[in-house]
Amino acid sequence: MKYIILFTVLLTGIYNHAQEITGNELLERAIAFHDPEDNWPTFKGKMLIEMENPKGSPRSTVVEMKLPENYFKTTVTKDNYVIESELDNNDCTLKLNGSTSIFPKIKDSMNISCDRAKMMKNYYTYLYGLPMKLKDPGTIIDSKVIKKTFKGKEYLVLKATYEKEVGNDTWYFYFDPKTYAMEVYQFFHDESKNDGEYILLSEMITVNGIKIPKVRKWHYNKGDVFLATDNLRKANIID
């Protein structure tokens, strides 16, 4: 009987230890898994991302980023057009099928603008820089870590909100409880309405010592509706 009691005490101790981890501690462990050498701040790379969705034609995006030089460029190929958006510090260059001469009506109809280029820079550096980007100023990490079962697997879940100057959405990040690999993230504009989306991450690859999910499958939270798949087909370091 005393052995059963001892085993129960030990098991309870292990469970409580898992429960006691704080949000910042979980984030540090996740970053140690994904970027153990702290390479993200000096990342210079090129990625080929192909998006497939059930309602539209495939889209190919080549993303080039040199974080230390504040350089970012996307080359989007879809149907019969190629859009290049380049941000080199404060300089913005836009091209359609190789030409910088784009009629204003075409720019409007195809959503070609420097504002959109900046938005896409924030989008790609945020998603492909996770979980490291959760250390950025303006990010509020909830101290409480939640245990949650999602799609049949138990995760340690980190909640992040943002100062109003940064953003209004609420994000949840799902980490494997043993490796601390990020396998799901989810965001809500208004959590009471169950809006927003969740993204399933799989097939981890390593680029310059950083572990990045190769496949991202996007779904609406409401109705569990599939949206699209992003496939990281190729990634390499550039000078």
Tell me which residue range forms the domain holding 118: 24-237
Tell me whether residue 4 is in a domain. Answer: no
Tell me whether residue 81 is in a domain. Answer: yes
Tell me whether residue 19 is in a domain. Answer: no
Tell me whether residue 42 is in a domain. Answer: yes
Tell me whether residue 100 is in a domain. Answer: yes
Q: What's residue 20's pLDDT?
A: 82
Tell me whether residue 5 is in a domain. Answer: no
pTM for the full predicted model:
0.89
The candidate with the shortest Cα–Cα distance to 219, out of 34, 54, 76, is: 54
Q: What's residue 19's pLDDT?
A: 56
The count of domains in the chain is 1
Tell me whether residue 121 is in a domain. Answer: yes
pLDDT truncated to tens, each residue of the chain (239 aa)? 544 444 444 444 444 444 589 999 999 999 999 999 999 999 999 999 999 999 889 999 999 999 999 999 999 999 999 999 999 998 999 999 999 999 999 999 999 999 999 999 999 999 999 999 999 999 999 999 999 999 999 999 999 999 999 989 999 999 999 999 999 999 999 999 999 999 999 999 999 999 999 999 999 999 999 999 999 999 998 87
Tell me whether residue 79 is in a domain. Answer: yes
Domain containing 77 — which CATH number? 2.50.20
